[in-house]
Each structure stands twice: as structure tokens, then as C-alpha cells.
Amino acid sequence: MEMIERASEEHAKKILYVINESNRKAYKDIIPEKHFREPVLSIEELLQDFSRMSFYVYRHEGEIVGVAALHVLDKDTGRIRWVYVLPEFQRKGIGTALVTYVEHEAERFGLKKLWLITAEKAYWAINFYRKLGYRQTGRIERPWGNDLIMEKEIH
Ligand SMILES: CC(C)(COP(=O)(O)OP(=O)(O)OC[C@H]1O[C@@H](n2cnc3c(N)ncnc32)[C@H](O)[C@@H]1OP(=O)(O)O)[C@@H](O)C(=O)NCCC(=O)NCCS
């Protein structure tokens, strides 16, 4: 059984739960309180993103436990967004499976490069993307700390 599938709007509430739950656990301690958004995403914002990105979900025993999105920016370039796995399902290869799936989709769409933004303090995410072959190409200063831009060429 294929565990990753393209999501539709009917999955929005479950996806929102995964993103907000995972974000709170991961970022509450590294983002200063006055900049921390809880929930990080509203259903309206998610539905808006649905209209411009493809969302993919990972199911465990039927339940959505992980998500990743691909935003195609131009004919060569895509941005990876919203990579979140529920805390109790982390470190089991689900994030890797999701990003690898997104990369295959990007290849299928003819893209040549993928990039993403992650917080410099989110060492787990940086480790995760490095292991997948993404390299830092830029840094953005934010009031809550630096964000890093990471990129990977795909073929
Ligand atoms: C980042 C995230 C999606 C990774 O998903 P995951 O399913 O746990 O990742 P995987 O099991 O595929 O991990 C692959 C590798 O990433 C690295 N990694 C993952 N979690 C890590 C952690 N907590 N600490 C250090 N390295 C970590 C490791 O190198 C790991 O390989 P290993 O387990 O063989 O050592 C997950 O931690 C998450 O949802 N975090 C909160 C949200 C987030 O930060 N999203 C990304 C930025 S927007």
C-alpha cells in the first residue's frame, strides 16, 4: 500500500492539526515568545496555500501523521514548504520519505532546483535537509533569529 499521496482540501483539517501540533512542540522553545505564533497556521491560510501548492501526506494506519508541500515558482524552480511530522512519529524516516516524494514530483514536473527556508536554530531540520543533500546558500536575518536558505539541484 502506498503511504504517501497527494492531498486534497478534504484533508485540510487533519493537515492543519499535524502542522500546528508539530510546530508548537518544535519551535516554542527556540522562538522568543513575542514572535511565536500559536497556531502557526489558520485554516484560511492553509486553504489559500492549497490553491497554489501541492500538498502530500503520509498515512500511518490510515491516519495522516506527516505532511509536505511543493510550491512551483517557475519552470525550473520549486520551494519546499510545510514539512511536518507529528512528534510521536518523528525519527522513523517519514520526513525523508515525504521530501523524497516531493523531489520525485518536482522531477516529474521538469524542475531543476528545489529550495527551502528553515530556522538556523532548528538543528534537527538542518541535519535533516543536509542529509538529504540540501546545502546552505543564504541567510535571512529575522527578529527571532536567522533563517537559512537551503538548495538542492535535482535531475
Ligand atoms: C524535520 C522533520 C520533518 C524530520 O522528520 P523525521 O520523520 O523525524 O525525519 P527522518 O526520520 O526522516 O530523519 C532523517 C534524518 O534527519 C536528521 N534528524 C531528524 N530529526 C532529528 C533530530 N531531532 N535531531 C537531530 N537530527 C535529526 C537525522 O540525520 C535523521 O537521520 P537518522 O534518524 O538516521 O539519524 C521533523 O523533525 C519535524 O516535523 N520537525 C518539526 C517541524 C520542522 O522543523 N520542519 C522542518 C522545517 S519547516
Q: What is the pLDDT of residues 64-108, one digit of tens each?
A: 999 999 999 999 999 999 999 999 999 999 999 999 999 999 999
The predicted pLDDT at position 155 comes to 80
Q: What is the pLDDT of residue 11?
A: 97
- Tell me what pLDDT residue 16 has: 98
CA of 124 to the centre of ligand 1 (A): 5
pLDDT tens across 2-20, in order? 599 999 999 999 999 999 9
- State phi, psi for 153 to the nearest 5 degrees: -80, 135
Answer yes or no: is the C-beta of 85 below 6 A from any ligand 1 atom.
yes
> Which residue has cell 501541492?
54
CA-closest residue to ligand 1 atom 7: 95
CA-to-CA distance for 77 and 32, rounded, in angstroms? 32
Mean pLDDT of 119-128: 97
Closest residue CA from atom 24 of ligand 1: 124
pLDDT at 2: 57
Fold of 4-113: Aminopeptidase (3.40.630)
Using most ligand atoms within 8 A of CB, pick from 128, 129, 132, 150 the residue to mutate for ligand 1: 128
Q: For residues 49 and 67, what is the distance between their CA atoms, to the nearest angstrom? A: 13
For residue 150, what are the β-bridge partners? Answer: 116, 136
Residue 112 to residue 34: CA distance in whole angstroms:
38
Is 102 close to ligand 1, i.e. is its CB under 6 Å away? no
For the chain, give the longest Cα–Cα distance. 44
- All three cell numbers of 148, joined, read 537559512
pLDDT digits (tens, 9 = 90+) for 31-58: 989 999 999 999 999 999 999 999 999 9
- Residue 144 has a pLDDT of 85
Q: How many residues does the chain have?
A: 155
Q: How far apart are CA 106 and CA 112, in angstroms?
A: 8
For the question of whether the overall pTM of this predicted structure is more than 0.95, the answer is yes
Going 14 to 6 to 63 to 116, the CA torsion angle's sign is negative
**pLDDT exceeds cutoff 90 at 1:** no
Which residues does 65 contact at the CB level (< 8 Å), separation at least 6? 18, 58, 59, 85, 86, 89, 94
